[in-house]
Every structure is written in C-alpha cells, then in structure tokens.
Amino acid sequence: MVQSPIDLSPTQMQAWMGRLIERARRFGERGDVPVCAIVLDQRGRCIGHGMNQRELNNDPLGHAELMAIRQACLLQDDWRLNDCTLLVTLEPCPMCAGALVQARVGQVIFAATDPKRGALGSTINLATHTSAHHRMSVIGGVRGEEAKVMLSGWFKQQRRRSVGTGEAPFQTDSTTC
C-alpha cells in the first residue's frame, strides 16, 4: 500500500527551510551556487541530503536534489519515494523536476522561485505536465524571499571576487544552480 508523505505544519516547513538556507549559505563559500535539499520520510526523518556540487565535482548532474534522492533511495532500498517529501532552497530545474517525477516523490516544498529555469511552475510545470505519470504535491515560496536574498548575495559576492582577481565574471546572472 502506498503511504502518503508527512503532513508538515507551516511552522515545521519554515523551520526545516530555515535550516536548509543556513546550510546553503555556509556551503556557498566553497564556490558552488548555494542550493541545499533534503528528503524526509513519512515519519519526518531525514533520509537524504544534498548540496549543489557541480563545480566542486565537475559534475553537471551534481544538483542538490539528485544527491538527496539518490541517498534516500539507497537508504530505503527502493527507488519509489511516494511517501517522502523533498525540501529544497530553490525551485528545481527541469533535470531535477524530471527526476522527482521519476522517483515518484510524494511532496516537494521549495523556497525561492527561479523565473529563468524553474520547472515546477516558473517556466514549465513538470509536476502537472502531460508527460508526468506521477502526481506530486508542490508547495513553493516557503521562506522564498529569504532564500532569494541569500542567493543574490552569493552572486554579488562572486562578481566582486571576479573583478578583484581579474577573472571572467560568473557566467550567469540568474539565481539558478
């Protein structure tokens, strides 16, 4: 029988997201766009965690959501995450939104929207797209403004650093990973 994901209260969502934004802020000092994701099981236990590590590992698939999904599937010994909730600090890109559907994640909660590449409503909605064989519930904008400010602060800092070192400026002006 397929169980449903945990029913988090608004306060619990805010608390989890606050922690993720803080972790992402600290991790951003390593050079990758600061995006952090976790997967909670049906009882609210964290069973997967990921940070965007594309630059660190030279891995175009190294997005926070994919790492968290992989870890959760390994731990559950199951690729189906119907009873799980993924929380992430930025609206997932098309690759990650597709993976969330493939993994049959029950619920997705994100903070900042990504007007340029977000694929859960901003540019396209892969959760409701005709190609989606799985329906997941999506809640966006939890601590959205706070996550947006954290990301834009990181991009400003990267631009300042590249001016200081004479290196080419960071190649995106978006808040995306």
x/- map, 91-130, Zn ion, by CB under 5 A: --x-xx----------------------------------
Distance in angstroms (rounded) separating the CA atoms of residues 98 and 101: 5
CB of 82 to Zn ion, least distance (A): 21
The yes-or-no answer on residue 91 being catalytic is no
Q: Which stretch binds Zn ion (CB under 5 A): 21-29, 67-75, 89-97, 143-151?
A: 89-97
CB contact at 8 A, 82 and 104: yes
Identify the active-site residue in 29, 65, 91, 167: 65
User: Of 119 and 150, which CB lies nearer to Zn ion in the complex structure?
Assistant: 119
Measured CA to CA in angstroms, residue 32 lies from 27, 63, 177 at distances of 8, 10, 8
Q: Please, what is the minimum distance in Å from the beta carbon of residue 93 to Zn ion?
A: 3
Q: How far apart are CA 102 and CA 69, in angstroms?
A: 10
Query: Shortest gap between Cβ of 90 and Zn ion (angstroms)?
Result: 8
63 in contact with Zn ion (CB under 5 A): yes
Can residue 40 be called a binding residue for Zn ion (CB under 5 A)?
no
DSSP E strands, 62-101: 85-90
Provide the 10 A C-beta neighbour count for residue 140: 17
In which residue are the tokens 């403004």 written?
145
Question: Looking at 71-79, 85-93, 122-130, 131-139, which segment touches Zn ion (CB under 5 A)?
Answer: 85-93
Phi, psi of 175 (to 5 degrees): -95, 10
Burial class of residue 134 in the structure, from the number of CB atoms within 10 Å of its CB (0-12 exposed, 13-18 middle, 19+ buried): middle
Could you say whether residue 39 binds Zn ion (CB under 5 A)? no
Distance CA 102, CA 170 (A): 32
By CB under 5 A, which span of 8-16, 59-67, 100-108, 117-125 interacts with Zn ion? 59-67
C-beta closer to Zn ion: residue 165 or 171: 171
- The binding site for Zn ion (CB under 5 A) comprises 63, 93, 95-96
Query: Annotated active-site positions, please?
Result: 65
